[in-house]
Chains A and B, each alone.
Chain A
Amino acid sequence: MSTSVAPSALPVVPDEDEEITGRSLRQIVWSRLRRDKTAMVCLVILILLYLIAIFAPFITSMLGVDPYSFDGESISDSGGGPIGAWGGISSEHPLGVEWGTGRDILAQLLYGLRISLLIATTATILTTFLGTTLGIISGYAGGKTDAIIGRTMDLILAFPFLLIILALSGVLTQRLTQLGVPDGNPSRILYLIIVLSIFGWPYLARIVRGQVLSVREREFVEAAVAMGAGRPRILFKEILPNLWAPILVYATLTLPTYIGTEAALSFLGIGVLPPDTSFGGMLGNSVSYFSVVPSYLFIPGTVLVILVVTFNLVGDAVRDALDPRAGRV
């Protein structure tokens, strides 16, 4: 499980010296990452998971399973439970079938992975965009703008977000539909992406704002101002490039959090609509049955944990590579 094999073996080299030798920060980070075996393994797993998610329909049809079709033969007509041990595991259904419908668990998992990654990835991108933009504006503009953004952040951070997301899901999903987003899952998924981002950006914005405050006093920014560069240019050409390290670290660590939150929300019942399912939904369903069929709990739970752990390991490794002095030494 250890994650700090490579960084601790690395000599600590300050950024400035590296730049003098002509290697870009990106190259440095990449070379450090490549030496971190755990990180590389995880990165490969992640890429594989994304590929599996993207090609899920293709993979399931190759395996001869499908998340939507009902298999009445595989469940009992007395009680609706799966026939056979471990949730009806058989050559036809490698991970068993769902209670009451006989739908294939493996296929559901693969499609659930798709939805989970779609929501978490998109929400992370949106969060990063919002957090960065608002953080830069807040830090650079100062004064009233800073105060307004600051108060908004305080307000958002004070909300019990899980409760708000649950309570508003019905009405806001409907609003999205009225705005022309297709009814059903597109609206629901978009709702989750939006609310996760809205409640997520202030954390990043705070970090970015702090960085901007320190960067804008540096000579090169002052030089740009003196040379009469426009505000957008200063913001995005001069300041932004100095921020991407904390942003990247934040983004890689946010993604797994969102995977967990999305699962928790579907567990509480506001996930995708049937016939689609997600990890959280599968775990939610398992509650009624796991004393009899434990695999309903352990199969999706294990996949979920693997997903989150892998992302976290990569996130840690990225942080180490970007700033080997912080945290790990």
Chain B
Amino acid sequence: MGMANKGLRLAAVGAVTALALAACGGGSSSSSDSSASGGAGSGEPTKGGTIYYLTNAEQFDQIDPQRIYTGEDLAFFNGTIYRTLTAYKFSADAAEGTSLVPDLATDTGTVADGGKTWSFTLVDGATFQDGAPITCADVAYGVSRTFATDVITGGPTYAISMLDIPTAEDGSSAYKGPYTGEGQELFDKAVTCSADGKTVTFHLNKPVPDFNYTTTLLSFSPVPKAADTGEKYGDAPVASGPYLIESNKNGKGGKMVLARNPKWDPASDTYRGAFPDNWEVDYGIDPKVIDQRTMTSSGNDSFAINNGIEPEQLAVVFKSPTEANPEYNGRAISTLDPYVRYFAINTQKVPNLKIRQAIAVALDREALRKNAGGDFSGDYADGVIKPNMGQDFAPTGMWDTLLGQKIPDTGDPEYAKKLIAESGEAAPTITFDYPQSPTADKAAAIVVDSLGKAGITAKPNPIEPGQYYGVVFDPEKAHELINAGWGPDWPNASTIIPELFTPTGGFNLSQYDNPEYNKAVDAAKVELDRAKQAKMWQDLNTQAMADVVVVPTRFGREQRMAGKQVGPIYLWPAYGSWPYGQMYAGQ
């Protein structure tokens, strides 16, 4: 765990697979199960009360809507203070939980011009916390902030790559954001408002059949221009949802308190339940303490939620990776998360395919998985598209056929040696980059040991977690083998394959640049027939595995828990998070 959750800045979407559905059936995730836990009844959710979100983090990475990019945070803020044009349905079900519903818009968008023009009409009665009605201009202004890349850092940049705005000579957008105003007329042409200010239209530079998924991101949420304080907007953002930030103090012992937004009109928002009166995020709590408090669930802790369970407690809380122990039944979840864990192989530094194959073959994936928590940490992966991605997933056969013969989970050092002999090169010396933690140190020891058995010398290179992606994204500093994890931004592999395996992707740690592959990716991106597109992603996933661009290790599984009075208890497939917008404190 650790790295993927901590370091990834992306929204994650997925559908729970048959496997994970079994998990739900096993008693961990449907809300009807909570009656079995004895605490909660099965009546209507109570209005009122406070939900306590206990976290080890000392602050949110970002509170500014245009800069938030971690799945959990997107879900939390979208469910509480920021509204977006479209949103995902609240459901534990694989397909339903990733299907679109309108939020600030009256429907999920109108497409024209073969996918190059998208329009959304805003609902009546939606206002900001000061009572001002939300207009098309506010939506457009919010989107425009993404272009100020020197001020609005860290957020998704889909607006920049998708909107029909010419690029400057250096490849950056000719529009520099609202603060300098350079190229404003270009932006105003790409995002237009109807005369009554009720309809916003996006003009794209190429067809994007799933653009209305993009608009679920908070970077497409409205911001009133008058209240924008640039870099510091996150200190006092303007709420459009049912809650507003009453106070926020970062650090250990600090907390964020959300109170009801008096100007929010329930009639304009059929999406959110807005059950509790308050939300309280308690920062900087030791993970062991979080476990202890949620497990005991006394006093206010019966309204607590957490987002992770320490390894030593897993066997206490769960009977198996799919079933909680009776004491915690109905309030503990163990299910597949949206992430795939893998090791990227730097193809610039390891250009020889046979060597890359040898690395993949030699790795002891079973030991790696045991170290991460055994079957609690996930299932063996065979690619970067996870089964809970629905139609885009197909087994790649990586460990059965792609590498020439069947490879056991424990690795096959003899076969790896043979591959090295065939490569025409000497057995390589490689360095393994990973974000340091005690568990990751042990994983590194496993990498060193298992590659060593095949004659490959591996050196561990622990990097401070906070600096990790800063280092490995730097081609000068990244080494041969790079620990990573990725989850899609919405349920289309268009947010996986191009990001991971093309030079223009944002997460191409392998520095993979294969012209033919790039061409196939471009074709898949604009394919309008979703079934056809799914087949193309499946093939591209398999091709990348055949070329051993990465070594997939696990389809991650995650565990979390809530106090006895909180519901509903399931992992929302849309973001692999709690369904914040629908949660309640007591029934």
Contacts and interface: CB of A to CB of B under 8 A. Distances in A.
The judgment on whether A and B are partners is yes
Interface of A: 68-70, 72, 75-81, 98-103, 170, 183-184, 269, 273-275, 281, 284-285, 287-289, 291-293
Contacts of A77: 370, 374-375
Nearest to B376: A79
B370 A273 contact: no
Given A79-B315, A100-B311, A102-B370, 11 more contacts: A68-B445, A70-B449, A78-B315, A78-B321, A80-B374, A81-B311, A101-B445, A101-B446, A269-B436, A274-B460, A291-B312
3 A-B pairs with the lowest CB-CB distances in the bound complex, closest first: A275-B445, A274-B445, A100-B371
Contacts of A102: 370
Contact of A101 (B310, B367, B376, B462): B367
B320 interface: yes
B154 interface: no
A288 B316 CA distance: 14
Interface in B408-466: 410, 436, 438-439, 441-442, 444-446, 448-449, 459-460, 462, 464
Contacts of A170: 464
B310 A288 contact: yes
B315 A100 contact: no
B113 to A, nearest CB: 52
Given A274-B442, A274-B444, A288-B438, A99 B311 contact: yes
Interface string B302-323: 0000000011111110101100
Given A80-B371, A101-B442, A273-B460, A291 B288 contact: yes
A185 B449 CA distance: 16
Given A68-B449, A81-B312, A100-B439, A76 B459 contact: no
Interface residue tally on B, bucketed by range: 35 or more
B124 interface: no
Contacts of A291: 288, 312
B556 to A, nearest CB: 15
A101 B410 CA distance: 13
B373 interface: yes
B164 interface: no
A81 B313 CA distance: 10
Nearest to A276: B445
B311 A289 contact: yes
28 contacts: A68-B449, A75-B370, A75-B374, A76-B315, A77-B370, A77-B374, A78-B314, A78-B318, A78-B376, A79-B315, A79-B373, A80-B311, A99-B312, A100-B371, A100-B439, A101-B442, A101-B445, A103-B445, A273-B459, A273-B462, A274-B444, A288-B288, A288-B310, A288-B311, A289-B312, A292-B312, A292-B313, A292-B316
B374 A78 contact: yes
B112 to A, nearest CB: 53
Contact of B370 (A80, A269, A274): A80
B499 interface: no
A50 B572 CA distance: 57
A301 B446 CA distance: 25
A98 B370 CA distance: 12
A72 B366 contact: yes
B221 to A, nearest CB: 38
A302 B446 CA distance: 27
Contacts of B321: 78
A169 to B, nearest CB: 10
- Among B310, B315, B374, max chain A CB count under 10 A is at B374
A273 B444 CA distance: 9
A80 B371 CA distance: 6
B372 interface: yes
Interface string B456-499: 00011010100000000000000000000000000000000000
Contacts of A293: 312
B448 A79 contact: no
B364 interface: yes
A72 B365 CA distance: 12
A275 B449 contact: yes
Contacts of B310: 288
Contacts of B446: 70, 101
Contacts of A287: 438
Contacts of A75: 370, 374
Given A68-B449, A80-B370, A274-B460, A100 B312 contact: no
A94 to B, nearest CB: 21
Contacts of B313: 292
Contacts of A184: 459-460
Given A68-B445, A101-B370, A184-B459, A78 B375 contact: yes
A79 B313 CA distance: 9
Contact of A78 (B320, B436, B439): B320
Contacts of B374: 75-80
A81 B320 CA distance: 14
A237 B462 CA distance: 48
A214 B375 CA distance: 70
- Among A78, A273, A274, A275, max chain B CB count under 10 A is at A274
B314 A79 contact: yes
Contacts of B376: 78-79
A75 B314 CA distance: 14
Contacts of A274: 441-442, 444-445, 448, 460, 462
Nearest to A166: B464
B378 to A, nearest CB: 12
